[in-house]
Amino acid sequence: MTFSSLGLSAPILKAVAEEGYETPSPIQSKAIPAVLEGRDVMAAAQTGTGKTAGFTLPILELLSRGTRVGANEVRTLILTPTRELAAQVGDNVLSYSRHLPLSSAVVYGGVKVNPQMMRMRRGADILVATPGRLLDLYNQHAIRFNKLEILVLDEADRMLDMGFIHDIKRILAILPKQRQTLMFSATFSDQIRTLAKGLVNDPVEISVSPRNTTAQTVTQWISPVDKKQKPALLAHLIKHHQWEQVLVFSRTKHGANKLSRYLDDKGITSAAIHGNKSQGARTKALADFKSGDVRVLVATDIAARGLDIDQLPQVVNFDLPNVAEDYVHRIGRTGRAGATGQAVSLICADEVELLSAIEQLIKQTLERKEVHGFTPVNELPETGYDPNRRPKKIKKPKQPKTEYQGGHRAGGNKPHKKPGSTGSSGRQTSPGAKQRSRKPRVSPVKAGTR
Ligand code: AMP
């Protein structure tokens, strides 16, 4: 299959070729024709499958056939759970639309609202937004939805995990009922299906990777270790294997900061990224990591969600996530778009139940590799995938939710806020801009000026 056989026009095909994409990924070959037919779509696809192009390319095709957008109007709304993902999707929209006379904009919390209000005066064919800031702008009459044609919910599962259900319901209530709706989610839980019922109409259901399985291109193993030895083991692994770009997951913000300091002390450059960091600090940490200035990025689950780092070779779970599904999301950061990756989990005896829940969820026993000099005193009990056992539900943690909302909302993503009362930085740069220097890119703010 080729992109040209999918019904996309020359300006889009040209942009796709310039991106270096040769063949459509499975999600793209299924989603593109369905969207072009005007169908609603419900797609189970994790990050790294090419889902962003899967919905953006046909949307651009449909929009390029219609009429131009008026002041404050939006023709397509793409909702994402995090600022980073919004910026990345906005970046992709810009790239794919570079030969079309279509405009796009990105709005999210944590930065000043005024430039976004000014930008919206010209309207946007495509608006990428996080829910809180979108409502904020709507409440200040900066956005009108009367011309809305298409709604995309990206990473819908994560939006629910992050407590955005009420914001989503508020947004749905102000959108025209007559529209095309596309819903993307890494997993389709019962809660997501319930949400989908009131959202999509006779959808084409697409699934490109079986539910809750990890990407095939990722090699996974675990290293049993005593809790206190984890930082030393991590430093040892990084040095011994000469890992140059490592994304490390920490369960807590405090833990992320502490670990980052420890690594720096050991001569391993690192940065921490989590909800307590300002948007500017998060953007800088990501850019430094992508450019190679920083070797290790220590992130909490929420902050790491949606980070698009091409061909990330190495992911380390310093702590296991409290929710087994988050393991799948974390692993989705590596081995993307056909590249191979390695995911290592440092596991102490306390985490045996979490490990067991993960092995049941991903339906495989993770290989154990004990590192010489780090044999745990508190032995990690045997675990393994048992096809006859029902998956055990682990209690959901409160921490990531509050962490995100704390950082995000403190940055001004609350609806009903007064103009000018938000954020510290007025700049709206893309976290992906530096790393992708091989191709000319423009920031989301520039997108708006077209
Ligand atoms: P996504 O799942 O949308 O986050 O995309 C993951 C990565 O795959 C991004 O870096 C895209 O640039 C890349 N990508 C998307 N579609 C293709 C394709 N057809 N061929 C090669 N790479 C792709």
Please give the pLDDT value at position 124. Answer: 98
Whole-number Å distance, alpha carbon 308 to ligand 1 midpoint, is 9
Name the residue with the closest Cα to ligand 1, atom 20: 21
Please give the pLDDT value at position 439. Answer: 34
Please give the pLDDT value at position 330. Answer: 81
CA distance 140 to 251: 37
Strands (E) in 20-135, as ranges, are 41-44, 74-79, 104-107, 124-129
Whole-number Å distance, alpha carbon 53 to ligand 1 midpoint, is 7
User: Candidates 4, 12, 18, 25: which one to mutate for ligand 1, based on the most atoms within 8 Å of Cβ?
Assistant: 25
Please give the pLDDT value at position 410. Answer: 33
Q: Is the pTM of this model over 0.85?
A: no
Closest CA to 317 of 397, 256, 395, 267: 256
Q: pLDDT digit string (tens) for 115-160?
A: 999 999 999 999 999 999 999 999 999 999 999 999 999 999 888 8
Q: What is the pLDDT along the chain (450 residues), one digit of tens a residue?
A: 899 999 999 999 999 999 988 889 889 999 999 999 999 999 988 777 889 999 999 999 999 998 889 999 999 999 999 888 899 899 999 999 999 999 999 999 989 999 999 999 999 999 999 999 999 999 999 999 999 999 999 999 888 888 899 999 999 999 999 999 999 998 787 888 888 888 999 999 998 754 344 555 678 999 999 999 999 999 999 999 899 899 999 999 999 999 999 999 999 999 998 878 887 888 888 889 988 899 999 998 777 765 656 657 889 999 999 888 888 878 876 655 555 678 999 999 999 999 999 998 888 899 999 999 999 999 999 998 887 776 554 444 444 433 333 333 333 333 333 333 333 333 333 333 333 333 333 333 333 333
Whole-number Å distance, alpha carbon 48 to ligand 1 midpoint, is 6
Please give the pLDDT value at position 335. Answer: 59
Whole-number Å distance, alpha carbon 50 to ligand 1 midpoint, is 4
Please give the pLDDT value at position 311. Answer: 59
Nearest atom (ligand 1) to Cα of 25 = 19
Whole-number Å distance, alpha carbon 161 to ligand 1 midpoint, is 25
Helix (H, G, I), strand (E, B) or coil at 338: helix
Question: Under a CB-based contact definition with an 8 Å cutoff, are residues 391 and 360 in contact?
Answer: yes
Please give the pLDDT value at position 407. Answer: 32
Closest CA to 131 of 108, 149, 151, 102: 108
Ligand 1 site residues, Cβ closer than 6 angstroms:
21, 24-25, 28, 47-53, 308, 310, 336-337
Nearest atom (ligand 1) to Cα of 23 = 19
Name the residue with the closest Cα to ligand 1, atom 21: 21
Name the residue with the closest Cα to ligand 1, atom 15: 50
